[in-house]
Every structure is written in C-alpha cells, then in structure tokens.
Amino acid sequence: MGLADLGSVLKIFGGSEPSDDEKAQLAKEVMLMVLARATAADTNIKQVEVDTVASVLQKHTGETFESADIRVAANSSIYEKAPLDRFVASSARKLDTEARVDIAQALKEVVHSDDRVSDYEISFFNQIVGALDLTPAQLMGLE
C-alpha cells in the first residue's frame, strides 16, 4: 500500500487508533495530502510545483515521491468525503507535536518556494495550522 492511497488517513478518519508505526505512516500521508493540495489551488497543477513538493517531501520524510503520486494525492476522491481540514484535524489528534510542526514547516517551505506568497497561500497555511491545532509558540519552536 503506497502513501498516495492515503490509507492511514482514511483509517484514522474512520475512528481507528494507530500503532506507533501507523502514526509515522500517518504523519507522512498527512504531509503528502497537505503539500499536494497546496499545488491544487487551481485546476492546472504545474510540474515545477510538483517537483518542489517532491523535494520537500524527500527532505522531511526521507522517501522519494513520484510526480504521479503527488498528483493523485492532490486530486484524490478522498476530498469528496470531507474537506482537507477535517482529515487533517482528525489525523492531527493522533500525531505528536513534533510531527504536526514538521507538517507545518514543510508547508511553509512549499509556500515560500517561488519567493512570493499569495493571499490564497496565507489562508491555506492558516487553515492547515488551525487543523493541526498548533500554537504560535509551537510553530516558533518554543515548546
């Protein structure tokens, strides 16, 4: 089962309690979902955005992601079941602070990758950080 099928997220959304190994997998899947959806602001996902997400995912997870996996995660039918922030919030309750901050930091890297930040990106970032239930102090590394 690959990360792009988002199986751990669906399992958590269904109410299951994850093991330690499943929590690590869940953190990777949530990061993949969040970063992939960040590329899907419009219907035209640019290859440079996908490449940036792949690079950031590699840096944060140690795993290599194919463009196809990122595109599948960006446009998955999972989002027909519930909005992204609901999946993130459900999953975040099962993740430790370090994993949640890592997801937010990875998203920040993607947002900053083109040296300009749009209002949409700020709104998306704030929505995800809210769903991750992070405080400003946690984001700054003070806790």
Q: Which residues neighbour 74 within 8 Å (Cβ) at sequence distance 6 or greater?
A: 36, 37, 39, 40, 45
User: Which among 30, 48, 55 has a CA at the least distance from the CA of 109?
Assistant: 55
| Domains contained in the chain, number | 1
**Residue recorded with tokens 């099928």:** 5
A 10 A CB-CB count for 55 gives 14
Output the average pLDDT for the chain.
85
For residues 53 and 49, which has the higher predicted lDDT (pLDDT)?
A: 53
Q: Give residue-wise pLDDT tens across range 90-123.
A: 899 999 999 999 999 999 999 888 778 888 889 9
Domain that holds residue 54: 3-139
Percent of the chain with pLDDT over 70: 86
pTM of the model: 0.85
Q: What is the CATH number of the domain that holds 110?
A: 1.10.3680.10
Coil, strand or helix at 16? coil
